[in-house]
Amino acid sequence: MTRVIPTAAAVCVLALAVACGDSPTKPSEEITRFGVQLSPASQVPPVLNTEASGSGTATISFKITRDAAGAIATATADFQVSLSFFPPTTAPILAHIHRGAAGANGLFVVDTGLGPGQVNMIAGFGSFNKVGIVVTPALMQEILSTPSGFYFDVHTVANLDGVARGQLVRQ
């Protein structure tokens, strides 16, 4: 009987060690999405030329890897953007995430890599996707903590400072 207790205890310790083997030492991955309603009226100052008729939406999906302690180790962004009701001559040339609250302009912090001629605008409608854009861990944490402090906008040939803008909203 005295041998049964130490053996049973050893089996319990071994089972506990095996059960804990998948624990917090593994990095974890998550996807966090933000939606953006794009409007020329949200630009600072608002767009007043012929492109003021447009609108759009953007979905930004961040793929985040966290280390064993839960800190962000890596992050990338995937952008899905649709533009609507613009004049047929609209020519998107840039698109970024900027640091800045509603009503304030700020420097861009994440560039999509969009360039001139990459968006086919047909009768004032167009869309584009950009995937795998690297975001630094510190910036990713800042976006997660204060999404309203960031906005996304699209720039065109006619509106070099931006044609349509919206604040990031977590979905």
8 domain residue, yes or no: no
3-class SS shares of the chain: helix, strand, coil, % to 5: 20, 45, 35
Q: Which residues contact 147 (CB under 8 A, 6 or more apart)?
A: 34, 167, 168, 169, 170
Question: What CATH number did the domain enclosing 88 receive?
Answer: 2.60.40
The residue type of 42 is: S
10 domain residue, yes or no: no
Q: Are 150 and 99 in contact (CB under 8 A)?
A: yes
- What is the per-residue pLDDT for 26? 66
120 domain residue, yes or no: yes
| Cα–Cα separations (whole angstroms), residue 80 to 18, 60, 130 | 43, 7, 7
Instruction: Give the chain's end-to-end CA distance (angstroms, integer).
Output: 60
**The total number of structural domains that make up the chain:** 1
Secondary element (H or E) of residue 167: strand 164-167
112 domain residue, yes or no: yes
Tokens encoding 41: 């009226």
Give the length of the chain.
Answer: 171
159 domain residue, yes or no: yes
Determine the structural domain holding residue 150 and report its residue range: 25-170
Tokens encoding 57: 């939406």
Q: Give the whole-angstrom CA distance, residue 40 versus residue 153.
A: 9
Mean pLDDT in consecutive groups of 10 residues from the start of the chain, 171 residues: 50 44 65 98 98 98 96 98 97 98 97 97 97 98 98 98 98 95
- What is the per-residue pLDDT for 18? 43
Q: Give the whole-angstrom CA distance, residue 108 versus residue 91.
A: 20
98 domain residue, yes or no: yes
Secondary element (H or E) of residue 12: helix 4-19
Tokens encoding 66: 């966290």
Report the helix count and the strand count for the chain, using DSSP H and E.
Answer: 2, 9
